[in-house]
């Protein structure tokens, strides 16, 4: 349940606790809170546990330069650390960080990991039941793994053939298509959720975590089947916010474990990443002739420049150019009998 905000003591005067309270009052997402706190803690440890109030522009520059020069971090990582420190000083302390002069990280264009259709089929053949359905959904809809795991029963709209993505990246809602081939499997998965939920209620549990203030607005919704997670955890555990024993969704590490095993067993010589199925979804749609704007909306990208990265990995044989060697007459039979010479000769 590490995606649920834990409670913090209102009376605590500890720096990190006070900072967390300030971030929550500012209305930032929990992922942003976790990220900012992480980088601020690294900043404090970098400066030998000195309090940030004792530090300033010079120390911030040293930390950011260290990330690029000594840690070889990416430009995006350095930007995230900068955002965290700007929030700390400008919004929390009310101190300006104008005139920062640090060594910027080098920006390299990294192409996404994309599985071919043959590789997708090979990977899926190594998966069964729920893990297979989860991977098929990521590949068939472009969902991020966190968005997939956060799906509730009510988010599968069979009537409109849509999947509703609630509070995706950037805390935005969107819809994506519901693959027709997966409808019977999703219906069976929902039936399993109903049976498991009935067992939980009979055992004295059954309340699921509701985000924001929905628990107060809809006091009975936590026990409603519609609000149950589509891919529930196999265990019941204490909620970090209330301490109540609840069944949350499957943990991301469990999904990653299934993917790693399947990719290895399929003999696919590419990194095993859940996000690669989202990349494959976008790339294969582009290869099929769908326009970038449509793919951008399905992926939930705010900037089409982010979607354009997939134009560099479509299966067009080097941007549609035919290699000169492919124009040569077939002479493989002759070459197989050609003598092999050593470098010395």
Residues annotated catalytic, as ranges: 144, 169, 275, 278, 301, 310
Q: How many Å separate Cα 118 from the centre of its chain?
A: 24
Per the CB < 8 A criterion, the answer to whether 262 and 127 are in contact is: yes
Q: Please classify residue 279 by burial: count the beta carbons closer than 10 Å to its beta carbon, then call 0-12 exposed, 13-18 middle and 19+ buried.
A: buried
Neighbours of 50 (CB within 10 A): 13
Which of 257, 224, 43, 293 minimizes the C-alpha distance to 135? 257
Neighbours of 209 (CB within 10 A): 21
Token pair recorded at residue 68: 């690029």
In angstroms and rounded to an integer, the radius of gyration of the C-alpha atoms of the chain is 25
Which of 152, 160, 167 minimizes the C-alpha distance to 183? 160
Distances (CA, A) of 18 to 47, 55, 119: 20, 18, 49
Phi and psi, residue 234, nearest 5°: -80, -10
Rounded to an integer, what distance in angstroms lies between the CA atom of residue 343 and that of residue 345? 5
Report the DSSP beta bridge partners of residue 176. 163
Q: Within 13 A of 335's CA, how many CA atoms are on the CB side?
A: 5
E strand or H helix at 259: helix 252-265
Token pair recorded at residue 316: 């067009």
């Amino acid at each position: 349940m590490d995606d649920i905000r834990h409670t913090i003591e209102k009376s605590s005067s500890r720096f990190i606790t006070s900072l967390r309270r300030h971030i929550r009052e500012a209305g930032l997402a929990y992922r942003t809170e976790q990220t900012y706190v992480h980088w601020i803690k690294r900043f404090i440890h970098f400066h030998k546990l000195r309090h940030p109030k004792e530090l300033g522009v010079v120390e911030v520059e040293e930390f950011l330069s260290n990330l690029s020069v000594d840690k070889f971090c990416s430009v995006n990582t350095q930007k995230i650390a900068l955002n965290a420190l700007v929030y700390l000083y400008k919004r929390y302390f009310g101190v300006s960080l104008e005139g920062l002069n640090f060594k910027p990280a080098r920006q390299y264009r990294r192409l996404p990991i994309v599985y071919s259709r043959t590789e997708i089929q090979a990977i899926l053949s190594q998966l069964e039941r729920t893990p297979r359905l989860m991977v098929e959904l990521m590949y068939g809809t472009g969902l991020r793994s966190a968005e997939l795991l956060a799906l509730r029963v009510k988010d599968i709209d069979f009537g409109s053939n849509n999947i509703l993505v609630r509070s995706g990246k950037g805390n935005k809602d969107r819809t994506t298509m519901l693959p027709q081939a997966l409808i019977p499997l999703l219906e069976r998965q929902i039936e399993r959720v109903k049976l498991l939920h009935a067992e939980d209620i009979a055992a004295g549990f059954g309340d699921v975590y509701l985000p924001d203030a929905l628990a107060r607005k809809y006091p009975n919704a936590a026990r409603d089947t519609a609000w149950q997670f589509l891919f529930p955890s196999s265990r019941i555990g204490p909620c970090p916010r209330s301490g109540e024993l609840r069944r949350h969704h499957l943990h991301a590490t469990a999904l990653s474990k299934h993917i790693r095993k399947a990719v290895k067993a399929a003999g696919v010589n590419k990194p095993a990443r859940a996000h690669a199925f989202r990349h494959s979804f976008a790339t294969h749609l582009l290869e099929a002739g769908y326009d970038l704007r449509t793919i951008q909306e399905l992926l939930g990208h705010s900037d089409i420049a982010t979607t354009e990265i997939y134009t560099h990995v479509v299966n067009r044989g080097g941007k549609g150019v035919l290699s000169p060697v492919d124009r040569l007459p077939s002479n493989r039979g002759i070459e197989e009998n050609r003598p092999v010479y050593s470098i010395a000769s």
